[in-house]
Structure 1
Amino acid sequence: MRLALLAPLPPLQNGIADYAQAWMTAVRAAGVEVVVPPQQQGQWDTADAGFWQGIDGVHAELGGGRGPEFLALEQLRARFPQLPLSATVHDPERLVWRSPSLPRGPGRWLAAAPRPLPQLLALSQDRRTLARERALARRLDALVTLTRSGGQVLAERLQVGADKVHFIAHGNGVFAPQALPDTVPLQLLYFGFLYPGKGIEDLLDALARVRRQRPDAAVRLTLAGGSAPELAFGRRGDYVAGLRERARRLGIGDWIQWRLDLPAAQIVPCVQAHHAMLLPYRDSKKLALLGRMRGTSGALSWANACGRGVIASDARAFAEEVSHGNGDVFAQGDSAALAERITALLDAPARAAEWAAGAAALGQQRQWPRIAARFAALFASLQEGRR
């Protein structure tokens, strides 16, 4: 089978590009020939008949506010009615969340303007965008979500049959297990791209609260991840410098280690050098006007792969993802609640070992070879169905 992949790929700096690269490697190892179509000026070239005549199916990675993959699926369905088309939806309950077409006139300026103008533009176009999303969803052969709750809200919002939506969890790598650090202090890790919306400010506030309550507590936090991510709605100033200044003002600078732009080869040792990972994400209040995000996090998949528990907010579908004995959940934006979770781990460090065992078991279930085999079976069934 020859499958075309429509997705952002490295060197783009975002989580979906990282996922797509790992996904492509795993699916190729499962026996599917995966090829990347040609592009023209940042858009997928769907008019190259010589390329598309040799394709047995197309799979897209949708999310992150990107429009090229959505537009390509619309064009391919119009040009090749019998070609099996599928997509993984990273940010359900919507496919694209904002108009996939480049605005004209004043709209073009608004799309590139500072926040909140791009979000307001997306809101003004929402009814037409949702109609296009529903039309495309009905014409796709399969939709994949990385969480069960994401699949449920996607089917309801896009008005498609539940049998068209498939839950296939985020895959993770296969790595040798490593025991938890057996020394103090308690080593906590935030891992992922650093940008507003990840709740990192709440994490710093929580750590400051722990320090005020327990000045002699043995706690250290590592902030690790990409410092210059590709963002759909742009960025505001030097975000990392703002975090450093916030930590200094809160008096916790000496409790924090920075590991920015961590090389891929150092991710596993970094994660395994800690007792637990913290994911304090916040759902965007502006995006909440358009729908509910019920996706997951690539950082959480790294925690599972490395056998480390997670303290996560209840944003996205984290409550579902951290329901396997692999961590704990707190209310997003509630730094006091997060501080309580950290203090509880200080008082009962054995919980980190329990979470680690739960994470390792989940990580084994979600190893990329198993996940890729499910995708390969799905593509074979779609191809057979089109025949």
Structure 2
Amino acid sequence: MKVALLAPLPPLQNGIADYAQAWMQALRGAGVEVQVPPQRADGSWDTDDTQFWPHVDIVHAQLGGGRGPEFLALEQLRARWPRLATSATVHDPERLVWRSPEPARGMARRIAGWPRPLPQLLALAQDRGTLARERHLAAELDAMVALTRSGGACLVERMQVAADKVHFIAHGNPLFAPAELPADEVLKLLYFGFIYPGKGIEDLFDAVAAVLRLRPQARFSLTMAGGSSPELAFGSRGNYLSQLRDLANGLGIAERIEWQLDLPAERILQCVQAHHVMVLPYRDSRKLALLGRMRGTSGALSWANASGRGVIASDARAFAEEVSYGNGVVFAQGRSEALAGRMIALLDDPAQTRSWAMAAAALGTQRQWTKIADEFAALFAAVVERKR
């Protein structure tokens, strides 16, 4: 079977590119031929190539992160090659693309530099037409995949498609040998992931400060690890790292924080397993909430499972579902006092970290990439057979 993959890929710095790379390697390991289609000079996908597309069995796109090229390519392929089977993993359900994939000519080059909230306001103004295009494409796709069950349910409802068109296949992860929790008595917390506004990092810092006010002698530390220069759909807001360092200094918690930025891939496992618990304090965007509900998951959480470490997560996205396996606990997003309460509970009962770690490791085994690849391969075989 020959699969064409439409997706951002490294060296782009975003979670979907990382996922797509791991996904492609896993599918190839399962015996599926995965090829990246030709691209034009402007980075768009060449959907007219008569040497490539007639020899493809199915096209699979990774949709999300505010990107339009993959969405546009699927539209063009449906029109140009109607007999070709098409599918997509939707990383940010309940929408496919969230904003118009075709800004006015010249606008695409400028929009990333616009001050907030102008990009979001433009997306809101164009939303009715965007949603209509999303629903039209969803109706024409042969299958869609959501990484969470709640995301799949939202996708079915918002895209107005039959429930059997949307499939749940969890976020895959590598499988590593288990490692004991750190033996010292200092509770080691880890934030891991791309560092940009909207991840709730300010809430995490406020929670650390609150714990120190309530428990001045508490023995814990926080490591901030992850990518410092992510590719963002709506641009950046100045030097965010400097803002975070200033906030830590202002709260008097700078000495409790260790920074491990831009870790090479070969050091991620060691970093995660050197800690007791991962903390994911994400917030759902209020502006994006006007367009839909994000019910996806996080690559960082998949690393926690792979590494056998529990998670304290906000109730943003689909994290409540993702930590319902005994592998962690959630708190109300945006409420630093609630997060501080979860941290204090761990200080009082550190045995929780062990039970969470065991559950996370079990989930990681279930979701190892080899098994996830087999699920995708089976789905593709069924889709191609129906198409024929």
What range describes the TM-score normalised by the shorter chain of this pair? over 0.9
**Paired amino acid for 1:301:** S
1:382 aligns with 2:383: yes
* 1:139 aligned residue: 140
The alignment-based identity, stated in percent, is 72
Q: Within 5 Å, which residues of 2 pair with 1:303-314?
A: 303-314=304-315
Shift of 1:180: 0.5
1:26 equivalenced with 2:30 (yes/no): no
Counterpart residue number, 2:280: 279
The Cα of 1:371 is off from its aligned counterpart by 0.3
Q: What is the identity, as a one-letter code, of the residue corresponding to 1:159?
A: Q
SS in 1 for 2:161: coil
SS at match of 1:25: helix
Residues 185-206 of structure 1: per-residue CA shift (max 9 Å, x gap): 1000000000000000000000
The question of whether the paired residues in 2 share the 8 Å contact of 1:188 and 1:275 is answered with yes
**What is the DSSP-based 3-state SS (H/G/I as helix, E as strand, rest coil) of the residue aligned with 2:329?**
strand
Pairing 1:345-364 to 2, within 5 Å after superposition: 345-364=346-365
Q: Name the counterpart of 2:5.
A: 5
Query: SS of the residue aligned with 2:154?
Result: helix
Aligned to 2:226: 225
Name the residue aligned to 1:338.
Answer: 339
Structure 2 portions without partners, runs of 5+:
none
Deviation digits for residues 256-315 of structure 1 (CA, Å, limit 9, x no counterpart): 000000110000000000000000000000000000000000000000000000000000
TM-score (norm 1): 0.99
Residue pair 2:189, 2:277 contacting (<8 A) in 1 also: yes
> Could you say what the CA RMSD is over the residues aligned between the two structures, in angstroms?
1.0
Confirm whether residue 14 of structure 1 aligns to residue 30 of structure 2: no
1:88 match: secondary structure: strand
Match of 1:290 in 2: 291
Q: Distance in 2 between matches of 1:114 and 1:226?
A: 22
Report the alpha carbon displacement of residue 167 of structure 1 after superposing the two structures with TM: 0.2
Q: How many residues matched?
A: 387
Q: In structure 1, the residue corresponding to 2:301 is in which secondary structure? A: helix
Q: Which runs of 5+ in 1 are unaligned?
A: none
Is the CA contact (8 Å cut-off) linking 1:94 and 1:154 kept in structure 2? yes
Q: Map 1:99-248; keep pairs closer than 5 Å.
A: 99-104=100-105, 109=110, 112-248=113-249
CA drift at 1:109: 4.9
Q: 2-side partners of 1:36 and 1:100: how far apart?
A: 21
Q: Is the 8 A contact 2:62 2:90 kept in 1?
A: yes
Q: Is residue 112–residue 118 contact of structure 1 (8 Å, CA) maintained in 2?
A: no
| Runs of 4+ residues over 3 Å off in structure 1 | 104-112
CA distance in 1, matches of 2:220, 2:157: 44
Query: Deviation per CA, 1:95-150, whole angstroms, max 9, x where unpaired?
Result: 00000013237787556411100000000000000000000000000000000000
Mapped pair 1:53 → 2:54: yes
Residue pair 2:111, 2:234 contacting (<8 A) in 1 also: no
Using the alignment, how far apart are the partners of 1:254 and 1:275 within structure 2?
A: 19
| Residue 302 of structure 1: aligned partner | 303
CA distance in 1, matches of 2:311, 2:26: 25
AA in 2 matched with 1:135:
H
**Retained in 2: the 8 A contact 1:102–1:108?**
no
